[in-house]
């Protein structure tokens, strides 16, 4: 489990005792994609911080990893030093989870430059740690599954039936802070790409969206953009975001037609926005693990499809939705024919209708598991739900054929989620592949070939 500390405070405590130490460099631990950024610490002091990715290229795992930095000037002379540690995608220190073979994780190292104004030429990173036995996963056989990344993948967009792009970053931050990659199904590697839709984030878009405007006094606060949960529809022409008081808005790519979808959401915490192939969306809200999930659906053009959030029947899981956004797939315990039944249900979100039972289930996942992935086969109007949930304690992929009213178990999954970690899933446009990702200590991105199974097969 990740131990969450404030990185700046931790760095301040450790820096004084570790600078000028003679580090041992482990050749298996390789620093990649480094850059120097400026951060403000807890006391309001600007600090230079070296951030990057540390990859374990060896066959052993490493615990208690510490990072040392020699800051070199343009002539190659040591002009400063630094000390750092591994961090998760949100910048919290990771102190008690060994870095496994071929795994990579972010790091942050606070720099101490000896002479102000020094032009930094290069940062040389040394990684030290304790070799430990690699983690052995006691998993049942996994079917049709390919591992794509060990990074914290928090967003996937299918560009076609066999090509996707994915973002690595912190789910609480906006998409433009992610590192983006493109992957083609069947390839051995992913390709870094520029941030998708970054060209839409113009001064006009920012101004007309009022995304940085404080509602109460109309002043500007540029930090609001990063908390807006701004995300673009699959066609890239519409976007949805929240204001400083959590009101939900849509806006066109060119900054025109800002529309209010839902107000009075200040007491709810927006955790994510899931788009459908028809450019409708479901926004879901909860405060912490174990809390009920509330939700609304709307159109990219700014129309609320569902009733208001207070009319939503709370769900134990993150809900899925139909392409039209008129129904939600939820889970919980609800009355059926006079008796309480625990399981998965569907309800019409446009009216005060009772949830209708799909199937009963003894084990339900928490709100950190993926929403059910809905697929409509338009050739014959058959519908499938791909559900990730624990079965006998093992995270498992199941398919529910809605017309046949039949549930099928497909394969075990490699998910290992702590309560403060999340997982997501996205189905390809042809229904042939499911992308599954997770954050946290056992982060990653996997592709599951749904055609490897005899049931619910599409594509």
How high is the mean pLDDT in each 10-residue block of the chain (459 residues)? 42 43 80 89 82 94 95 92 94 90 92 88 94 87 92 97 97 96 95 97 97 96 97 95 98 96 97 97 97 98 97 97 98 96 98 94 96 92 96 96 95 94 97 96 95 80
What pLDDT score does 354 carry? 92
| Cα–Cα distance, 62 to 64 (Å, whole number) | 7
Quick one: pLDDT at residue 38? 87
pLDDT digits (tens, 9 = 90+) for 177-201: 999 999 999 999 999 999 999 999 9
Q: Contact at 8 Å (CB) between 107 and 85?
A: yes
Query: What pLDDT, on the 0 to 100 scale, is given for residue 8?
Result: 44
Res 16: pLDDT: 40
pLDDT of the residue at 119:
84
Long-range CB pairs of 357-361, under 8 A, 24+ apart, other chains included: 358/329, 358/385, 358/400, 358/402, 358/405, 359/400, 359/405, 359/407, 361/331, 361/389
User: What percent of the chain shows pLDDT beyond 70?
Assistant: 94
Query: SS3 string of the chain?
Result: CCCCCCHHHHHHHHHHHHCCCCCCCCCCEEEEEEEEEEEECCCCCEEEEEEEEEEECCCCEEEEEEEEEEEEECCCCEEEEEEEEEECCCCCECCCCCECCCCEEEEEEEEEECCCCCCEEEEEEEEEEEEECCCCCCCCCCCCEEEEECCCEEEEEECCCCEEEEEECCCCCCHHHCEEEEEECCCCCCEEECCCCHHHCCHHHHHHHCCCECCCCCCECHHHHHHCCCEECCCCCEEEEECCCCCEEEEECCCCCCEEEECCCCCCCEEEEEECCCCEEEEEECCCCCCCEEEEEEECCCCECCCCHHHCCCECCCCEECCCCCEEEEEEEEEECCEEEEEEEEEECCCCCCCEEEEECCCCCCCCCCCCEEEEECCCCEEEEEEEEEECCEEEEEEEECCCCEEEEEEECCCCCCCCCCEEEEECCCCCEEEEEECCCCCEEEEEEHHHCCCCCCC
Predicted local distance difference test score (pLDDT) of residue 350: 97
What pLDDT was estimated at residue 271?
A: 98
Q: Tell me: the pLDDT tens digits for 394-446? A: 999 999 999 999 999 999 999 999 999 999 999 999 999 999 999 998 999 99
């Amino acid at each position: 489990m990740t131990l969450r500390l404030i990185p700046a405070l931790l760095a301040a405590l450790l820096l004084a005792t570790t600078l000028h130490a003679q580090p041992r460099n482990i050749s298996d631990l390789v620093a990649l994609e480094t850059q120097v950024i400026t951060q403000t610490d807890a006391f309001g002091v600007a600090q230079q911080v070296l951030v990057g990715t540390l990859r374990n290229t060896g066959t052993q795992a490493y615990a208690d990893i510490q990072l040392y930095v020699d800051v070199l000037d343009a002539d190659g002379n040591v002009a400063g030093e630094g000390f750092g540690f591994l961090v998760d995608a949100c910048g919290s220190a990771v102190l008690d989870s060994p870095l496994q073979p071929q795994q990579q994780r972010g790091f942050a190292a606070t720099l101490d430059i000896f002479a102000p104004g020094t032009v930094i030429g290069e940062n040389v990173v040394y990684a030290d740690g304790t070799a430990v036995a690699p983690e052995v996963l006691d998993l049942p056989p996994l079917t049709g599954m390919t591992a794509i990344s060990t990074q914290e993948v928090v967003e996937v967009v299918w560009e076609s039936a066999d090509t996707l792009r994915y973002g690595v970053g912190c789910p609480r931050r906006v998409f433009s802070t992610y590192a983006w990659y493109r992957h083609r199904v069947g390839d051995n590697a992913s390709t870094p790409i520029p941030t998708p839709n970054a060209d839409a984030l113009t001064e006009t878009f920012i101004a007309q969206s009022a995304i940085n405007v404080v509602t109460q006094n109309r002043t500007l606060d540029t930090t609001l953009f990063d908390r807006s949960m701004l995300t673009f529809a699959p066609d890239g022409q519409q976007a949805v975001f929240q204001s400083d008081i959590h009101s939900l808005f849509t806006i066109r790519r060119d900054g025109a037609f800002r529309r209010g979808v839902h107000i009075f959401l200040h007491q709810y915490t927006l955790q994510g926005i899931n788009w459908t192939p028809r450019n409708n969306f479901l926004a879901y809200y909860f405060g912490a693990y174990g809390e009920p999930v509330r939700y609304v659906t709307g159109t990219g053009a700014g129309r609320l499809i569902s009733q208001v959030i207070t009319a939503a029947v709370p769900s134990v899981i993150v809900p899925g939705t139909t392409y039209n956004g008129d129904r939600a797939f939820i889970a919980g315990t609800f009355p059926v024919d006079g008796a309480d039944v625990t399981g998965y249900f569907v309800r019409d979100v446009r009216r005060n209708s009772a949830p209708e039972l799909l199937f009963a289930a003894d084990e339900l996942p928490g709100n950190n598991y993926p929403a059910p992935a809905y697929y409509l086969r338009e050739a014959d109007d058959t519908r499938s739900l791909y559900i990730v949930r624990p079965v006998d304690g093992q995270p498992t992929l199941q398919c529910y054929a809605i017309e046949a009213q039949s549930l099928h178990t497909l394969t075990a999954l490699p998910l290992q989620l702590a309560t403060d970690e999340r997982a997501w899933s996205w189905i390809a446009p042809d229904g042939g592949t499911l992308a599954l990702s997770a954050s946290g200590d056992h982060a990653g991105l996997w592709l599951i070939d749904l055609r490897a199974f005899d049931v619910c097969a599409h594509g």
